[in-house]
Amino acid sequence: MSGLPVFGVPDILSAAVSLAIILLCLAGAAMAARKLRRRGGLPNSLSSSTIRIVATRSLGWQSSLLIVEAQGTRFLVGRGRAGVTAIGAFHSMPSAFTEDRA
């Protein structure tokens, strides 16, 4: 005996049926995601979302401040070597931040 398992027809048939079920589930999930995207439930991509960087200010080698707008509210965010930190939100826009930079 070589120690290798012997596969019969029922084992191969069972594996083929399992593979077919998995492929059908994946196709169904793709169709559901496409339908949700058409109805507006899922964004098409990150670039079409409502998050954008309004302004940035470098504070040194690897640190900066960002003003990020998400769903009409602007946030002050700090970025550095340790990561990203939300500092606060602007509930009323100061006049200095009402103009967008290109």
Same domain assignment for residues 10 and 27: yes
Question: What is the pTM assigned to this prediction?
Answer: 0.43
The reply to whether 3 and 38 lie within a common domain is: yes
Amino acid at 18: S
Q: 61 and 35 share a domain?
A: no
Cα-flanking dihedrals φ and ψ of residue 64, to 5°? -160, 160
Q: Look at 24-33, 40-49, 51-60, 88-97 and tell me which has the smallest mean pLDDT.
A: 40-49
40 shares a domain with 55? no
Backbone angles phi, psi at 84, to 5 degrees: -115, 135
CB within 8 Å of 68: residues ≥ 6 apart: 51, 52, 53, 54, 74, 75, 77
Phi, psi of 43 (to 5 degrees): -70, 150
- 90 and 71 in one domain? yes
Shared domain check, 91 and 60:
yes
Computed over every residue of the chain, the mean pLDDT equals 80
Instruction: Give the pLDDT band (50/70/90) at residue 4.
Output: low
| Residue 18 φ/ψ, nearest 5 degrees | -65, -40
| DSSP conformational letter for 76 | E
When divided into structural domains, the chain yields a total of 2
User: Residue 102: what pLDDT?
Assistant: 44
**What tens digit of pLDDT does each residue of 59-93 get?**
988 899 999 988 888 999 999 988 888 898 887 65
Domain limits for position 36: 1-44
| Tokens coding 64 | 């900066």
